[in-house]
Structure 1
Amino acid sequence: MRKALILAGLATLSQPVAAAIQSAPLTLERIFGDKAIPIDQVEGGEWTADGSGYDAIEPSKAVAGGTDLVRYDVARNARTVLVAAGDLVVPATGKPIAIQSYAWSADGKRLLIFTNGTRFRRTRALGDYWLFDVAARTLRRVGGDAPPASLMYAAFSPDGSRIAYVRANNLYVEPSAGDAPPRQLTRDGNDLIVNGLGDWVYEEEFYLRKAWSWSPDSRTIAFWRFDTSGVGTFYMISNTMGQYSKPIPLQYPKVGTTNSAVRVGTIDVASGATRWIGLTGDPRQNYVPQMSWAGTSGKVFLQYANRLQNTYNLLLADPASGTTKPVFVERDAAWVEANGDPTWLDGGKRFTWLSERDGWRHLYVASSDGKTPSLRTPGRFDVVSLLLVDEARGWAWFTASPDNPTQRYLYRATLTGKPRVERVTPAGQAGTHGYDIAPGAHWARHTVSAIDRAPVTEMIDLTTQAPVRVLARNAALQDEIAHEPIGPTEFTRLDLGKGVSVDAWIMKPAGFDPAKRYPVLFQVYGEPWGQTVADAWGGNTALWHRMLAERGYIVASIDPRGTNTPRGRDWRKSIYRRLGVVGPEDYAAGVRKLIAERPYIDPARIGIWGWSGGGSSTLHAMFRFPELFKTGIAVAAVSDQMLYDTIYQERYMGLPADNAAGYKAGSPITYAAGLAGNLLVIHGTGDDNVHYQNLEQLEDRLIAANKPFTMMAYPDRTHGIYEKPGTSLHLYSLMTRYLETNLPPGGR
């Protein structure tokens, strides 16, 4: 399904702001409150198949609570209403269907609408689907007598004749024409057997949500089946829903424990017969991170990984027999990253593949017959993300930044012949550039920002790089930045010795006087999943940092080894089996380097904060380097690596039976007795990712060591701690007060 598209008020985004915001001090209310600084955004806007325009969901002016589906022609700047809210009124209720996402049939005659989205794990994937006939202007609810908000991941077959979806952990199919009832394709789905959608850990770590797909000829469905019966059950407890607590069970495989047993099958839609693909090895000790149809070849392509995730077997499967044949094997001494669905070329004879086999993340074109893949992006740089493969014109479009890992630019590379790489983003536009490229690569939505520059989104002609029109200007936000009493953020690289250097940024306080000494608050992440030292706008967190700078703090960040920056394989994988060991040591060395080189940093007032992996890094800093870090705030931290999930933790640390010392050394709880400074720990009790038990087990260890600390539990909030009114304002108010009390601002 296509996701919700352009936000309300798009038509006004290009209008000038009536009056410049005065240079009033930033406050928490102006960042997180009801009257926060307005932020202009563009979400989605699905391109048409020919790339000439895009569709968008917009609030209806004629029908209260309704939405229109409109189409914009880019070249003509013309807007056409395709489906009006008045066409989507349910006769039985008289109420309009509010489109949340949608999909067109291949012939454009029918529209599949998702509405009434209800939360399922991290997304509102449960909901209702309606089928709209464009010519007849009629509506039909998909799913027959299914209960409200009970369907997931519905999709047309490629020929548009059928719709398939997941209901109660089983796959169903029904015709898109007529009123024939749904037909159930799998029958063993229950609370522990899951067909057609990923289990918790596959969704979290492999991004597998919709776990099924139509064959190109519309005759077969390929799908994952998860048997979670052997997986340990973790119970979260809700205490805010009434007089009694409510246990919330979750099948969550923690480090070293049993995974789901995973099978991949194909269903002949006409007969309903299922054929299982033959995969060798224990289904609980191997992973299938990705599966897709190999172009029009009729074969199923699988990435099949061992539990250590250092060996990926690429396989082609015959759906009729279930037999497989190898394509090639991708290996790494540390770990291999799963590829997203590859783009198939030549009708399924070749496909795109990202690999670090030469020490850099590069684009290859691989052959389905197992021949050596062809390198298409040679050089000492990383492909950050592959955006579009245009087989007809022979180009692959991707983002990279060969000279500065804190920035991102657009490049393209040839798919055949002698490799040729060209930079597309014009010179002189420093920062981070993102692109949503239309089919045919003529038009693109282009967003550019920098650490001190608000994001601007514009439609551009990609053939000339000329802007066509502005979609989101963010004039109010940029005016705020321009009138702040702080100087430009400085980027630097710190030499830590022994061939190790790390990137950093430093934001100096208002009224900065180099003759004085100031407190520093370091933001940290420090794990393989992210990057904090980026020349890109950082959202509300960036505004909070700027507010702290206005109040007299230096704010800074360092990216230690192992973070997901485009500095090559060796940089990223130097932390293998030492996650939580190398990063904190680099951070401490970097902070010492800054103190030695910059006399305006007050060594008695060094603070650190981070979220998730950054919370873990904060705990390491406070426990292992108490002479350096005086105040820390750890949000949603993993305190013991043994409490996290199999796929993530074992990917970077190996199996605990083979690396017990590494797991102990990498877990901040090991060093809890070293706490000497001020520590605030924060966690959501409903965190299904990093469980609240991390906080309680850490508290237990700190209490045993008689170490004072401060803690805050947010009831029923998840890993993002944002649910329910006022949560973000309360959270950042708490952190601000804690800093001002324990890490006093201002120069001395």
Structure 2
Amino acid sequence: MAPLLAFASVAPAAAQVSAEDIQRSVQLQESWLYLTRDVAEPAQWLPGGQGFTYRKTVEGGFVFVTYDSATNSRRAAFDQTAIAASLSKAMNQTFEPLRLPFERISYTADGKAFEFRYAEEGWRCTIADSVCAQAPRTSQPRGFGVVRDLTVPAINTPRRSPDGKWEAYVENFNIAIRPVGGQWKRISFDGSEANFYDPESIVWSPNSKKLAAYRVIPGYRREVTRVITSPSDQVQPKVIVQLYPKPGDPVDIDRPVLFHAETGKHIAIPEALFANPYRMGKFKWRKDSASFSFTFDQRGHQVGRLIEVDARDGTPRAAVEERAKTFINTGSGREFYHEVSELGAEVIWMSERDGWNHLYLIDGRTGKVKNQITRGDWVVREVVKVDDAKRQIWFAAGGMRPGEDPYLQHYYRVDFDGRNLTPMTTVDAYHDVAFSPDMSMYVDTYSRIDLPPVSELRRTSDGSLVATVEKADISRLVAAGFKAPEAFVAKGRDGKTDIYGVIVRPRDFDPNKTYPVVENIYAGPHSSFVPKKWWPFGYQSSGDKTIGMQSLADLGFIVVMMDGMGTLNRSKAFHDVAWKNIGDTGLADRILWHKAAAAKYSWYDIDRVGIYGGSAGGQNTLMAMLFHPEFYKVGIAYNGCHDNRMDKISWNEAWMGWPLDESYAASSGVDNAWRLQGKLMLVVGELDMNVDPASTYQVADALIRAGKDFDMLTVPGGEHGVLRSVGPVDYGLRRHYDYFLRHLAGVGTPDWNRMPASAPGGTVPAAH
């Protein structure tokens, strides 16, 4: 058995942090918010293209502004006072007009309403009369996209053909069609509860003579049961059940079917090219009605295809095929293809086949590469627009500009043949660009961690400036002591690759002192996480954004964050470190980064390093504590997905693979809990709908069985963002602060139980 580590640096509490100091940190986000003006967020164009909407800071909070691009004038996007009142009534909560429960909106097609998501639900508000209600359901819910929730009926509204003469829907699990106004006639007879036709998948051919649909063998209905121990409307607990497929579970098997409408003829489609599917894409008919296509993601995410089906005889073929020895990244906007002119003879295809994420022009008849459109040691991050007529592509990318942080996002235009690569953005910053529907204009909102946001309206033709929409004013914030975080770069485990991070100091920083260090970690393979934009109000955090890095730093810590290997937006090799190895967490790179910072700065106490994170960051935190106890001394893990077999199927199979193997156990915080040596606090919300709360409880069980001491906070009613979702915000934050102050800094904190308090309702019961 390994000897216990000596924590010589953590002495008995000799100093004391006051309640006032902690409360000041708790309230920092609010106090800093009121000191900024015109901090604009990315724009959203109106459907008609006559203007765009964005949110910005004002005294007391945020307003949504609509900018008229023709007149360069501004107006309120909607009546925020009326919307706040309507939402308060609809949700049975209280919302202030300047603190609405959403950051961005999406307009309905007619522009008369907007939609947003809140508490896992979709909401819609009309603009003219400010009426808000839950948005109408547009599809049957699915458990993480792969198992249909059969307790909720599918949307079975008859699908009308493009010529308006036919309708199709599902009747008793089978396809039925009719001339509009005529009698329904079944054209399939093999559907059943265990092998049914999906009405939401029905797509007519452009010439209205054929239709395609999926026939479905349902997957396993795994349910996660949660207990609401402390409901607000009754004394007794409640139980809720969630459809929650996990790694290894059988998923829905979708099989394409083809029918000729007039004859009702069913044409069989051989299945060899799309056997063992994880997910099948929506049907896209070619505009000549001669064929249709769909994407196929094979279980395990190592084979992907664009399948074309001949509409005459149902013969399928692979128009494009992608293979990987590790994983094909099917998330984060990286699963992109475009059939040129809707005929399929050419396909724009996104791939990492040369080691970087790039675009290729594929011959849709042979599957061969006609030419690589983008090339180099940089990554395409998003395709914004493909113009078939001009044979041009607009896209976002990172890492193309020598000497610049490769995570900064810029926008470009390029021809299909790879020529005439043209930058649309030039300022050394992170750019969020929103193009007008007709592509004639764009709004460029850009910033860096040391450059407050600027929002500009420009012409797409030549990039010329039309107007400066907003320019942030942070003068009062700077006067209050705000300083931008320091960008810091060090070499990773291979001695060559740059690892990028940030350092946040206390506002009363003294270079002659030494400070314990706390790492804010989030290392999910689905993205990169170190802030590159200006930090609104000095805040950015994994798991729970209310845990501000600056507010923690102000209590006497250096707070840092970096992106180690295994995260996204670098090379394929950089990303592949996570393959069947999520437990790696990039910790080898992170520790070297810490050591480089300590070598440069005498005030950086490398012997007192703590770590915290939520969700994937919670798992990362536990991995750091279990596998590197010589380095990480104190950790707080929020709602961690501590065992990849316990978490959602989509995220975990994407990186850990299928079928399940020993790699899942190797990355498990449960199976490795016996390794704990430092001080650990587990935090879990009982109503987390993202990560099964049992994942945290199983870690606790394993720690108890191993005889380990640890701390645990279970939050009744707590959700995935556990500190945001329940109770006074200062409770969770001050528990967070207290833990690092006591166990990492070695200082005392107030006896909170002796602080003044009131009984519920403000009455004080008699003492007994």
TM-score, scaled to structure 1: 0.74
Change (3 A) 1:56 1:523: closer
Q: 1:570: Cα distance to partner?
A: 1.0
Deviations 1:666-721 (A, max 9, x none): 12223322322222222222222211001100111111222222222233443233
Distance 1:414 1:170 in 2: 40
In the alignment, residue 347 of structure 2 is paired with which amino acid?
F
Indicate the residue corresponding to 1:74 in structure 2: 69
Indicate the residue corresponding to 1:690 in structure 2: 691
Q: Secondary structure at the match of 1:732?
A: helix
Q: Secondary structure at the match of 2:703?
A: helix
1:304-319 to structure 2, matched below 5 A, reads 304-318=296-310
In the alignment, residue 365 of structure 1 is paired with which amino acid?
L
Distance 1:360 1:703 in 2: 45
Indicate the residue corresponding to 1:432 in structure 2: 430
Change (3 A) 1:380 1:83: closer
Indicate the residue corresponding to 1:358 in structure 2: 354
Q: Secondary structure at the match of 1:701?
A: helix
Distance 1:246 1:272 in 2: 50
**From 216, 224, 229, the counterpart of 1:234:** 224
Instruction: Tell me which moved more, 260-269 or 411-420.
Output: 260-269
Distance 1:630 1:335 in 2: 34
Q: 1:615: Cα distance to partner?
A: 1.1
Change (3 A) 1:447 1:461: same
In the alignment, residue 430 of structure 1 is paired with which amino acid?
D
Confirm whether residue 457 of structure 1 aligns to residue 452 of structure 2. Answer: no
Q: 1:297: Cα distance to partner?
A: 4.0
In the alignment, residue 639 of structure 1 is paired with which amino acid?
H
Q: Secondary structure at the match of 2:527?
A: coil
Larger radius of gyration: 2
Deviations 1:21-63 (A, max 9, x none): xxx99642242599866685557533446x5x236699xxxxx
Indicate the residue corresponding to 2:390 in structure 1: 393
Q: 1:524: Cα distance to partner?
A: 1.3
2:488/2:500 contact within 8 Å kept = yes
Instruction: Tell me which moved more, 395-404 or 699-708.
Output: 395-404
1:100/1:113 contact within 8 Å kept = no
Instruction: Tell me which moved more, 508-517 or 301-310.
Output: 508-517
1:388/1:437 contact within 8 Å kept = no
Confirm whether residue 152 of structure 1 aligns to residue 148 of structure 2. Answer: no
In the alignment, residue 680 of structure 1 is paired with which amino acid?
M
Indicate the residue corresponding to 2:179 in structure 1: none
2:54/2:66 contact within 8 Å kept = no
Q: Secondary structure at the match of 2:652?
A: helix
Distance 1:295 1:26 in 2: 61
Distance 1:457 1:562 in 2: 33
1:371-450 to structure 2, matched below 5 A, reads 371-373=367-369, 374-402=371-399, 403=402, 404-417=404-417, 419-426=419-426, 429-450=427-448
Change (3 A) 1:462 1:370: same
Change (3 A) 1:527 1:725: closer
Flag structure 1 segments of 5+ consecutive residues without an equivalent.
1-23, 59-67, 86-94, 106-110, 139-147, 156-165, 177-181, 198-209
In the alignment, residue 152 of structure 1 is paired with which amino acid?
R
1:46/1:55 contact within 8 Å kept = yes
Change (3 A) 1:267 1:421: same
1:425-574 to structure 2, matched below 5 A, reads 425-426=425-426, 429-475=427-473, 479-481=476-478, 483-484=480-481, 486=483, 488-497=485-494, 499-539=496-536, 540-541=539-540, 544-565=548-569, 567-574=570-577
Indicate the residue corresponding to 2:753 in structure 1: none
1:303/1:314 contact within 8 Å kept = yes
Deviations 1:164-199 (A, max 9, x none): xx98323214889xxxxx9854654999999879xx
Distance 1:101 1:118 in 2: 10
2:434/2:442 contact within 8 Å kept = yes
2:394/2:414 contact within 8 Å kept = no
Aligned residues: 645
Confirm whether residue 612 of structure 1 aligns to residue 615 of structure 2. Answer: yes
Q: Secondary structure at the match of 1:531?
A: coil
Indicate the residue corresponding to 2:180 in structure 1: none
Q: Secondary structure at the match of 1:76?
A: coil
Change (3 A) 1:251 1:441: same
**From 293, 296, 303, the counterpart of 2:284:** 293
1:328-347 to structure 2, matched below 5 A, reads 328-338=320-330, 339-340=334-335, 342-347=337-342
2:614/2:638 contact within 8 Å kept = yes
Q: 1:497: Cα distance to partner?
A: 4.3
In the alignment, residue 307 of structure 1 is paired with which amino acid?
R
Distance 2:711 2:169 in 1: 53
Distance 2:460 2:605 in 1: 49
Distance 1:191 1:56 in 2: 46
Change (3 A) 1:237 1:425: same
Deviations 1:563-587 (A, max 9, x none): 012x211111133222212623333
Q: 1:744: Cα distance to partner?
A: 2.6
Percent identity between matched residues is 22
2:524/2:617 contact within 8 Å kept = yes
Q: Secondary structure at the match of 1:493?
A: strand
Indicate the residue corresponding to 2:648 in structure 1: 645
1:169/1:193 contact within 8 Å kept = no
Distance 2:214 2:449 in 1: 41
Distance 1:547 1:114 in 2: 34
Indicate the residue corresponding to 1:20 in structure 2: none
Q: 1:217: Cα distance to partner?
A: 6.5
2:45/2:435 contact within 8 Å kept = no
Q: 1:618: Cα distance to partner?
A: 0.6
In the alignment, residue 372 of structure 1 is paired with which amino acid?
K
Q: 1:365: Cα distance to partner?
A: 2.2
1:32/1:729 contact within 8 Å kept = no
Q: 1:362: Cα distance to partner?
A: 0.4
Distance 1:721 1:381 in 2: 37
Deviations 1:116-150 (A, max 9, x none): x897x83417x79x9x9xxxx99xxxxxxxxx969
Instruction: Tell me which moved more, 701-710 or 303-312.
Output: 701-710
Q: Secondary structure at the match of 1:410?
A: strand
Q: Note the aligned Cα RMSD (angstroms).
A: 4.6
Distance 2:514 2:498 in 1: 25
Q: 1:371: Cα distance to partner?
A: 4.0
Distance 1:717 1:212 in 2: 40
Distance 1:83 1:558 in 2: 39
Higher relative contact order (CA 8 A, sep 6+): 2
2:380/2:397 contact within 8 Å kept = yes
1:83-122 to structure 2, matched below 5 A, reads 103-104=108-109, 122=120
Distance 1:511 1:596 in 2: 22
In the alignment, residue 343 of structure 1 is paired with which amino acid?
H
Q: 1:289: Cα distance to partner?
A: 4.8
Q: Secondary structure at the match of 2:245?
A: coil
2:519/2:561 contact within 8 Å kept = yes
Deviations 1:381-431 (A, max 9, x none): 1111112223333321222222445532434243334534232212xx322
Indicate the residue corresponding to 1:251 in structure 2: 243
Q: 1:379: Cα distance to partner?
A: 1.6
Indicate the residue corresponding to 1:162 in structure 2: none
Indicate the residue corresponding to 1:10 in structure 2: none
TM-score, scaled to structure 2: 0.72
Distance 1:358 1:468 in 2: 39
Indicate the residue corresponding to 2:95 in structure 1: none
Q: 1:453: Cα distance to partner?
A: 3.6
Q: 1:442: Cα distance to partner?
A: 2.5
Instruction: Tell me which moved more, 33-42 or 374-383.
Output: 33-42
Distance 1:547 1:498 in 2: 33
Indicate the residue corresponding to 1:7 in structure 2: none
Change (3 A) 1:262 1:462: same
